[in-house]
Amino acid sequence: MSGSGQILVLDDDAAIRTLVRRCLEPAGFNVVTAATGADLRRLIQDQPIDLIVLDLNLKGEDGLDHLKALRRERDLPVIILTGRGEPIDRALGLELGADDYVAKPFEPRELVARVRTVLRRMSRTAAPAANRLLAFGAWKLDLDARILVDADSRPVALTTAQFAILSVLATHPNRVLSRDQILDLADRGGEPFDRSIDAHIVQLRRKIERDPRQPEIIKTVYGAGYLFRGD
């Protein structure tokens, strides 16, 4: 996939903003940058943004707060930047809805690959064309509109990663899928994100299960993966 799309970078470090720009622009992406949360909000209002690269380590601001606000207000994919020694921030970011993360210092090709993967996942579908509306329990998953609605037709907010994972599970009902299979089918790819599947499953269960502690729809098969009960 060649680069295309407008990427917004939020980082208070001018050197990092310049580095990200130099990584992404040669790959065909248009890059706009923000140094503060206020800049971020203004640019989102004024320009069409396809993906946000968000540094969690902002001076005087909490990057996780910005991530939470984005998830409440927008359905934009987010890749977080973190330091290599900050696994807690990475885990929190993924649980709060980040679609991917890149640890600093990073290789330019890695960042480009992550951006392409997330954007590709946004544009591709995860199911055969023959069945685009999936019903399970009280829920309906529209793969074309990329929306999940409840029994009263109210939409349920899903991150791009959550939608991709739910789509994979829902289109392979009553089959045990390993984490690697889910990653491959969701087009997520990459060993560092294997464990993030568990965090996304936790969030999905909170949204679709009557009792997330005793799930009936997305069941864990210990030592093997997950099984989706579509009946």
List the CATH number of the domain containing 113: 3.40.50.2300
Domain count, the chain: 2
Domain range for 198: 133-228
pLDDT of residue 130: 47
pTM: 0.57
pLDDT of residue 61: 82
- pLDDT tens readout for residues 170-207: 988 888 888 888 887 876 444 444 457 888 999 999 99
* Structure tokens belonging to residue 4: 């295309």
Instruction: Give the CA count within 13 Å in the CB-facing half-sphere of 97.
Output: 23
One-letter amino acid of 16: I
* Structure tokens belonging to residue 47: 């320009």
From 123, 141, 163, the end of a domain falls on 123
Please indicate, yes or no, whether residues 23 and 73 belong to a single structural domain of this protein: yes
pLDDT of residue 125: 38
pLDDT of residue 97: 76
Please indicate, yes or no, whether residues 18 and 79 belong to a single structural domain of this protein: yes
* Structure tokens belonging to residue 46: 């004024």
* Nearby residues of 131 by Cβ (< 8 Å), 6 or more positions away: 171
Per-residue pLDDT for the chain (231 aa), expressed as one digit of tens each?
455 789 999 998 999 999 999 999 999 999 999 999 899 989 988 888 999 999 888 887 888 888 888 877 777 889 988 875 566 666 777 777 788 888 888 888 999 999 998 888 776 534 444 457 888 888 999 888 888 999 888 899 888 888 989 999 998 888 888 888 888 787 644 444 445 788 899 999 999 999 999 999 999 988 888 999 876
pLDDT of residue 3: 57
pLDDT of residue 45: 85
Torsion-angle region of 204 (φ positive above 0: left; ψ -120 to 50: alpha; else: beta): alpha
Please indicate, yes or no, whether residues 23 and 78 belong to a single structural domain of this protein: yes
Q: Residue 89, Cβ neighbours under 10 Å: how many?
A: 17
In whole angstroms, what is the distance from residue 100 CA to residue 80 CA? Answer: 6
CATH code, 207 = 1.10.10.10
Please indicate, yes or no, whether residues 27 and 74 belong to a single structural domain of this protein: yes
Kindly state whether residue 128 falls inside one of the protein's structural domains: no
In whole angstroms, what is the distance from residue 195 CA to residue 197 CA? Answer: 5
Please indicate, yes or no, whether residues 119 and 138 belong to a single structural domain of this protein: no
pLDDT of residue 126: 40
Distances (CA, A) of 32 to 73, 119, 182, 218, 220: 20, 17, 32, 39, 41
**Radius of gyration (Cα) for the chain, nearest Å?**
18
- Continuous segment of H or E residues that includes residue 218: strand 218-221
Main-chain phi, psi angles of 164, to 5 degrees: -60, -45
